[in-house]
Amino acid sequence: MSLEVFSLGTSGMMPLPGRFLTSALVRREGELFLFDCGEGTQVSLKMLNLKWKKINSVFISHMHADHVTGLPGLLMLSSQVDRVEPLYIYGPAKLGEYIDANRKILDMYINYEINFIPVQEGVILETQEYTVNAYRLKHTKPCFGYSIVEKDRPGEFSVENAKALNVEMGPKWGKLQKGESVENSLGQLITPEQVLGKARKGRKFSYITDTKYFPEIADFVHDSDFALIEGMFCADLEEDAEDKMHMTSSQAAMIAKDGNVKKMGLQHYSPRYSDYELKQLKIEADKIFPDTILTKDRMSFDIPNEE
């Protein structure tokens, strides 16, 4: 089962040539989750051949222009490509006002259902296979980080054990793999534990941007297989980062290390840095957390299943 992360933009505050505003998309078995939607989001989606009308849910971190100004265009374009499925948009309470105002002022033609869900900390979406969790960050406006957390999958099915326990091949094998007990050909009750191996841990993706550093963020991203974390400034501007309620790449690395993250991608870079100067962000982060990626626009990352 695939779980892919696409970085659609990595810039903070203003877009630059080749560096659009911060946004990321996660694709999980055909479901698409969009995180933030600044200027340039649609361009990256097009360049990556990702179908925006297939986006199921949008998660907005906070109400600053560099994270939401791409949303009205995305909503309008989805009507032009004949979207029919409902779109679910999650974010701070004022996001609902922003959507309504844009629909009215721009006289948007919307031919599909838009559902806005104001975010509170905790589980904000749950299915049989995963949850999406929100965490309150510390910024100049209400701001949330998000995690997609898969539920553990059943262990590997043992054909050998099933045959030895006289369970005939067919629907009963499927039920056992779904966690249901069945009767074998002798009328005996066979439980999933008798034919399944150890449960396989689900995967976790986390998205953190626009926040001052505080150590508790590590608890939220704990055990993430991949986390996109803001590393806006180099360490020499740590005081500026604190004043503006942002983070340095070193602070992002501390969160990844303390949170036992497997791999971290930096994002939301200050426009003061050229592409060459961005390398210093990674150099500083690597000293603390070597599994750091200097994320660039339109990079993609595959999160494999645990075998």
Q: Give the helix/strand (H/E) hosting 7.
A: strand 3-9
249 and 190 assigned to the same domain: no
Task: Clarify whether residues 14 and 148 are in a common domain.
Answer: yes
d(CA 36, CA 24): 7
Residue 170: inside a domain? yes
Q: What is the pTM of this model?
A: 0.91
Say if residue 83 is in the same domain as residue 182.
no
CB burial of residue 217 (10 Å; 0-12, 13-18, 19+)? buried
Strand order across the 130-136 sheet: 122-126, 130-136, 144-150, 204-208, 226-230, 264-267, 292-293
The one-character DSSP state at 140 is S
Q: Is 49 exposed, middle or buried (0-12, 13-18, 19+ CB in 10 A)?
A: exposed
φ, ψ dihedrals at 294, nearest 5°: -85, 90
Both 125 and 167 in a single domain? Answer: no
In-domain check, residue 307: no
Q: What is the pLDDT of residue 156?
A: 85
Quick one: pLDDT at residue 307? Answer: 66
Supply the CATH number for residue 57's domain. 3.60.15.10
The Cα–Cα gap between 295 and 1 comes to 24
Residue 175 lies in domain? 159-194
Same domain for 189 and 71, yes or no, is no
Same domain flag for 15 and 52: yes
DSSP state of 21: B
| Angstrom distance (rounded) from CA 72 to CA 253 | 34
Element holding 279 (H helix, E strand): helix 279-286
- pLDDT for position 282: 98
Domain end marker among 194, 221, 244: 194
Please give the tally of structural domains in the chain: 2
163 and 148, same domain (yes or no) = no
pLDDT of residue 155: 83
Of 66, 210, 225, 297, which residue is the catalytic one?
A: 66
The pLDDT tens digits for 247-296 are 999 999 999 999 999 999 999 999 999 999 999 999 999 999 999 999 99
Instruction: Look up 291 and say whether it is catalytic.
Output: no
**Which residues of the chain, if any, have pLDDT below 50?**
none
The answer to whether the CB of 270 falls within 8 A of the CB of 257 is no
Same domain, 273 and 147: yes
Are 54 and 96 members of one domain? Answer: yes
Q: Are 244 and 44 in contact (CB under 8 A)?
A: no
Q: Where among 169, 194, 219 does a domain terminate? A: 194
